[in-house]
Structure 1
Amino acid sequence: MAITKLRLAYHVHDDVAALSAFYEKALGFEYLFQDADRWLEMKVGDARFALASRAEAAEACRGPVLVFDSDDLEADADAIRRHGGEVTGQRDMGAHGRTLTARDPSGTVFQLFARPKGRHPT
């Protein structure tokens, strides 16, 4: 397998802006960047937490979603299937990278993220 670390966790919500105020003001999360009303990413110590609109999130993703870095999405997809998981979708985001959405054998949804070749990890 080629999973290298937990990249981030994100929460799917209908009103990204309203919920971001809670996390920034009540919990002190540090704002990093926003992509319109679709995605807002914050820093929590050395980790990242994001809020995603339903339009931005993969169809199967609702509530909290864990995202793991991968250096080989294809090999990881094969391993997921071999061990009783299900790959439910993939998305190519061009210069931002690619994601793979999957379910573990219990039905829990998670994602893998692969940075484009030649891009340094953040």
Structure 2
Amino acid sequence: MALLKYIVLLNTDVPRSARFYAHGLGLAVTVCSERWAELQSGAFRIALMQAPKGTDPPARGYSPFLSFDIDDMEGTVTRLLSMGAELDGSIKYAPHGKVAAVRCLDGHMLGLFEPAETKTKPEKFAKPGGPAPAK
């Protein structure tokens, strides 16, 4: 079985990109040099690698997203925009929470999700295959 070690993103300025993810999203920088950085988000790791000279930037279309759960949509989006990110569309407000797409400094897409506060406790719902909750 293969084990996914980390996702590697090509960047034009690795230290700047490491600061973007650290200050913009709160990821922990575990390694950082001019050409390579590693960031930690829970059990998941992202590696930033210096793009070779002459490498084309990511296409402006929709490539894979790095998707993050966040606590404060407006604050996070404002912070990321102030650091050079671009909001792709608007923040969407849905019953399940807030969703936004942001293009980072090197064009990689970031998905942001702030879950809605739930007012119903999960234990009130029936478990699959179990008895219905008491009334």
What TM-score comes out, normalization by structure 2 length? 0.41
**Rg larger in structure:** 2
Specify which structure has the bigger relative contact order, considering alpha-carbon pairs within 8 angstroms and separated by 6 or more residues: 1
More strand by share: 1
